[in-house]
Amino acid sequence: MLFTSSFTLFEGVMRYLKQNDLLPQLIAGEMHLATFDNHELLDCLPMDVDSIAQSSELMASSAFAILRRIGEKETQNEPSQRFIPAMFHWRGAI
């Protein structure tokens, strides 16, 4: 299994596989791909690609809130970390 940390990197891997005639192995299930960023295109591919969807809006607003509190020095008793849930999209066999 190959896991890419973004959809952009996933595109690069797909380009590499195509240029090196490795897509047939991927389609046959001899290789498996997974990526962050659940793009709608992943549902249209002839192979299963698992993905992890992240809320960019929630990540950005949480980061901004933490930075604002740091700037206002309101962080004395508050954690500076947040848990932001992600959604797994399993398309292939595990």
pLDDT reported for residue 63: 87
CA-CA distance, 91 to 34, in Å (whole number)?
A: 9
pTM for the predicted model, two decimal places: 0.71
Give the chain's residues under pLDDT 50.
none
Residue 25, domain member (yes or no):
yes
pLDDT reported for residue 66: 82
Residue 55, domain member (yes or no):
yes
Full domain range(s) for residue 11: 2-89
pLDDT reported for residue 83: 84
pLDDT reported for residue 29: 87
Question: Structurally, how many domains does the chain consist of?
Answer: 1
pLDDT reported for residue 80: 65
pLDDT reported for residue 62: 87
Residue 94, domain member (yes or no):
no
